[in-house]
Amino acid sequence: MTGWWLVMGLMCGCGGHPDWPAPGEVDAAWVEEALAWRARANVRNCPEVAEAVDALTLAWIAQSPDVVVRIEQSEWAVLEGRSDWVKPLVQLCAHAHLTGQTPHHLRTTRRLRRQIILTHPLYREDRRALRQAIRRQRKKAAEAA
């Protein structure tokens, strides 16, 4: 029984994170792999690994002349009153840029919701705020179309 929990922890948690780069050798390929892992990993049980990945990826994004992410909080309904969700949103937008995609608001909001759920426990108000933000994004998308 213990082995099963260990395997599940590796599969659903911090297992599978990219190999750590040598000091000062973070590159676009590593950042892309790390951001893909960060978006799907359940990191509640290993926040120190997630924080290290976040620090390295965000530092690289900030210094990269090729990846420019601009977040206007007024355009993202999900950010109303939640400045702590800007960091994962920047990571998701940077990952989209690195993979050659255009960040679509509704799709990115859903991915943000998933990443937030996998990162920390959400209280009822947080879940409600995310659902309402997704509804607002859908409504905006429908009005724009």
* CA–CA dist 94, 88 (Å, integer): 10
- The predicted pLDDT at position 31 comes to 94
Q: What is the model's pLDDT at position 10?
A: 44
Query: What's the token pair of residue 33?
Result: 């792999």
Quote the pLDDT of residue 123: 67
Structure tokens at 120: 């920390």
Asked if residue 82 lies in contact with residue 89, where contact means CB atoms within 8 angstroms, the answer is no
CA atoms 39, 45, 49, 51: torsion sign: positive
Nearest 5°: the CA angle 52, 58, 61 is: 145
Please report the pLDDT score of residue 3 as a whole number. 41
Q: What does the domain layout of the chain look like in residue ranges?
A: 2-144
The two structure tokens encoding residue 52: 């290290």
Could you read off the pLDDT tens digit of each residue along the chain, which spans 145 residues? 344 333 444 444 567 788 888 887 899 999 999 999 988 888 877 888 888 999 999 999 999 999 989 888 778 877 877 778 888 999 999 999 999 988 788 888 888 888 887 776 666 777 787 788 888 878 887 887 7
Please give the distance of CA 90 from its chain centroid, rounded to a whole number. Answer: 8
